[in-house]
Amino acid sequence: METDNSFKDCVIVSCGTLSPEINYLKKEGFLDAKKVLFTTPGLHEIPKELETQLIDRIKKAREYSNKIIVVYGGKFCYVNSVDLFRTIDTIIKEQGEGIVRVQASHCVDMLAGKNEREEISRGEKVWWMTPGWILFRKHVFKDWDKGLANENFPKHTGGAIVLDGIGFFDHYIEEHTEEILEYSDWMAIPIIPHEITLDRFKKKLLDQLHKLQEGDTQ
């Protein structure tokens, strides 16, 4: 079947953490989806709620189209500690045909692959973030206290690198300097922006669009 690059017959169901990139691509005209639905950012910390919201958004998406692209990572976004064999793809498959998922391990991997991240980090251990991790900090790090922060962040000697494909950071820090400084202080590592393109993200979205257009949702 012939494919094209228009999402006009599709619905996007995405983690809210990636809403800055999704909305940027909508504004740019690349992502002309029939509808875009978001779950609450940061639900990787609350897998049961992630599952509930994902199923709910997919049901809502069915009201608009039977072609659905889920923008969620695999192994890092949903970990069911009660049933380790229950994955995000299991949940999606249970919702029926016509649903595909962007192939990446997590949101950071959608924006920059392993090799690119290794180049950026230059061998240092890095805590990777996206603009959503700045905007939705209270969701992403819900219930984290300073003790938990101290256990996790300081070992990242390369700092916290924000992969910025939307021209976000420079503008944001101008208006929220104190917030970023406090965030960095809480993490006990510097927050460093790194400019990227959204080419990898676009390709991953197009790969799934073409699968839907070809009727390949297995």
Amino acid at 199: D
Residues of the chain with CATH 3.40.50: 11-107+198-213
In CATH, the number for domain 11-107+198-213 is 3.40.50
Quick one: 197 exposed, middle or buried, by C-beta within 10 A (0-12, 13-18, 19+)? exposed
CA dihedral 130, 134, 136, 142 (to 10 degrees): 100
Q: What is the pLDDT along the chain (218 residues), one digit of tens a residue?
A: 678 999 999 999 999 999 999 999 999 999 999 999 999 999 988 889 999 999 999 999 999 999 999 999 998 888 888 887 889 999 999 999 999 999 999 999 999 999 999 999 999 999 999 999 999 999 999 989 999 999 999 999 999 999 999 999 999 999 999 999 999 999 999 999 999 999 999 999 999 999 999 987 75
Six-digit token pair at 10? 């599709």
